Structure 1
Amino acid sequence: MDNKITFGGKKHTPNVRMLSDMDEVVYDRKWLENAEDRELYYMYRDLYLTEDDHTVISEYDLRYDITIIPAGMLGDEYIKTAGHFHPVVPGTIIAYPEVYQVLEGEATYLLQHDDSTDVSDVVVIRASKGDIVVIPPDYGHITINASSEDLKMANWVCTSFSSIYRPIQEKAGAAYYLLKDGFVRNPSYNSAAEIRYVKPRELPEFGLVHGKDMYELVKDPEKLRFLTRPQEFMGSLSRLIS
């Protein structure tokens, strides 16, 4: 199957997340025992429309990606990403944030704040085409496609770090799994807060507005400084899921 996309007049080949890459975090273990390995979702990284755009994006230590998550099930569970955390910005105690925009379909974002042994906060944000979702510092996150249509989403993120997958892998997934009948708690955690539901919120001061293509911020990259220096913007970032 040809999973290439065209962006900036070029064909791009994805990094493919396979079912075998997700063994640790799948809820339905009985289904997994007999499931054949297959492609789950596709990540197209470091995209740009022009070479000038690429120069600007690189100078600001940023990366623009697109991810496509086809509709489907992992046994009883809706298809999802592996889930990860971000490390802290050097010299601070604040982790790097990230921003997503739904381009097609619907997304369910699950965010969790982990303390030493517990999950102190769990937030679910359901987003549709054009919606903006900013992942605040210090929250792990997964994306779930709980719809019958393919999900296509974009993200801006700093390039100065690698995502941290191990904490979620070691707990066999996030604090909750989304099944056909709703969310169920992951028993691998000692305790987890009840889910709070939050609507997508705009950050107009950063040029992040519903329905406005956030790729266009390449023309005003200073507005994306919150991704590389979040410590300077905690006032705005702290309001996102309050």
Structure 2
Amino acid sequence: MGNELDFHGNIRTPDIRMLYDMKEVLYDREWLDRASNVELYYMYRDLYKDESNLEKMKEHNLRYDITVIPPRMLGREYVKTAGHYHPYVPGTELSYTEVYQVLEGKATYLLQKQEGDLVTDVMVYNAEAGDCIVIPPNYGHITINATGDTLKMANWVARDFSSVYGPIKELSGAAYYLLVDGFITNPDYGEVPPIRSRETMDYPEFGLSSGEDMYDLVDDMDKLAFLTRPQDYTSAFKEIVGK
């Protein structure tokens, strides 16, 4: 107890990611061998203001979540999420997408595209409170809190699939680790492309602007159709990826 979230008067308890849940994807294994199994971050899934909002979300097959990541060092590595990919939209070669918004603190988002056995692109965004980050189709992603403050972030995502953790877990994490001295490559990947540092942006086509609470799109959910039908927005995603 003690980690409840008050979302518009609705008190919610989290799913908790523990340190030992992350053992396959951490860099500092010597530190891990001595560490106790502490709580790392808190996931509050399927949040809604009222039943009317919930019905809209179900009608559009979407879910709104909040994740809270307190500051912590995992040995030499900054605290992070486990990292995952999304499954493909049926009948397409594109995965479901996702959008994040930083509510409090600062976040480092690492996105990586895997084609076959190779990672062909790695992008990193440094986002502040209010900023939104769209995860394009076919990109895996992790979130890192490389600060001394608690990170609180929200996401919109399709509600009817399970995230795919296996590929990142099998390769001991993402293509890069963020340590106190900066990013280093994960040797389990072999050759990886250099990181492309990207600037945060607004996404007017999707109704997403920095500083505007993206939960309010519950009243204009057609703007979020890119999350479940990425095949209809290929030109927008090409612009987002920037290559």
Provide the TM-score with structure 2 as the length reference.
0.98
* Aligned pairs for 1:148-187 within 5 A: 148-187=148-187
Deviation at 1:129, TM superposition (A): 0.3
Q: Point out where structure 1 has 5 or more consecutive residues left out of the alignment.
A: none
Alignment correspondent of 2:89? 89
CA distance in 2 between counterparts of 1:220 and 1:191 reads: 43
Identity of aligned residues (%): 57
Distance 2:229 2:79 in 1: 32
Q: Distance in 1 between matches of 2:137 and 2:201?
A: 16
Contact kept? 1:198, 1:241, Cα under 8 Å: no
**Structure 1: which 4+ aligned runs deviate by more than 2 Å?**
none
CA distance in 2, matches of 1:8, 1:180: 37
Residue identity in the other structure for 1:3: N
Partner in structure 2 of residue 42 of structure 1: 42
- C-alpha distance in structure 2 between counterparts of 1:233 and 1:216, whole Å: 22
For the residues of structure 2 that align with 1:41 and 1:58, how far apart are their CA atoms? 26
1:197-226 CA-to-partner distances (Å, cap 9, x unmatched) read 001121112110010000000000000000
- How far does residue 159 in structure 1 lie from its aligned partner after superposition? 1.1
1:3 has 2:3 as partner: yes
Q: Distance in 2 between matches of 1:239 and 1:44?
A: 31
Structure 2 unaligned residues grouped into runs of 5+: none
Q: Does 1:229 align with 2:225?
A: no
Task: Give the whole-Å Cα distance in 2 for the aligned partners of 1:132 and 1:152.
Answer: 13
Q: Give distance in 1, aligned partners of 2:76 and 2:190.
A: 23
Task: State the secondary structure of the residue aligned to 1:147.
Answer: coil
Quote how far apart the aligned CAs of 1:161 are: 1.2
Amino acid at match of 2:3: N
CA deviations 1:8-60 (Å, max 9, x no partner) are 21110000000010010010000000100010000000000011001101110
Are 1:117 and 1:190, in contact at CA under 8 Å, matched by a contact in 2? no
1:21 aligns with 21
1:63 matched residue in structure 2: 63
CA RMSD between the two structures: 0.7
The equivalent of 1:33 in structure 2 is 33
In structure 1, the partner of 2:202 is: 202
The separation in 2 between residues aligned to 1:147 and 1:135, in whole angstroms, is 22
1:50-87 Cα shifts (integer Å, max 9, x gaps): 11001101110000000000011100000000000001
1:116 to partner: Cα distance: 1.8
The residue type equivalent to 2:84 in the other structure is: H
The Cα of 1:170 is off from its aligned counterpart by: 0.3
The superposition leaves residues 117-146 of structure 1 with CA deviations (integer Å, 9 ceiling, x where unpaired) of 221110000000000100000000000000
1:74 aligns with 2:97: no
Q: What is the aligned length?
A: 242
CA–CA distance in structure 2, aligned partners of residues 150 and 207 of structure 1: 27
Residue 173 of structure 1 aligns to a residue whose secondary structure is coil
CA offset at residue 110 of structure 1?
0.3
What displacement does 1:237 show? 1.6
